[in-house]
Amino acid sequence: MSYNLSLTTDFDFSLKEIQIIELIQKGFTSKEIADQLTLSEYTIKRHRQNIAVKAGTSGKRAFRKFIKNYPLPPQ
């Protein structure tokens, strides 16, 4: 996955966070994302927390809504 950096700066997400957002949108769990990216599940959960903070969401419902509606940059 490669992304245009200029399109990822709206919320100042890192490329890894954008990658995780895409995988969450596809329905993967934190465990599945961790396995796919060869990272720990804790690391993925921390990325999810960072995404939520940068997006200004509070609570799981708002986070899910943000993720669902976040437009990914074209690859």
What span, in angstroms and rounded, lies between the C-alpha atoms of 32 and 56?
A: 25
Between 12 and 72, the more confident residue is 12
Q: How many angstroms from the chain centroid is the CA of residue 59?
A: 15
pTM over 0.95: no
Report pLDDT for 11. 83
Q: What is the structure's pLDDT at 6?
A: 46
The string of pLDDT tens digits covering residues 6-43 is 444 568 899 999 999 999 999 999 999 999 999 999 99
pLDDT at 75: 65
Count of Cβ atoms closer than 10 Å to residue 4 Cβ: 10
Pick the CATH number of 13-69 from 1.10.3720.10, 1.10.10.10, 1.10.460.10, 3.30.930.10: 1.10.10.10
pLDDT value of residue 65 = 95
Compute the distance between CA of residue 37 and CA of residue 56 in angstroms, rounded to an integer: 25
**pLDDT attached to residue 74:** 72
Domain definitions of the chain by residue range:
13-69
Helix axes of 30-37 and 41-55: crossing angle, nearest 10 degrees: 110
Mean pLDDT of 55-66: 94
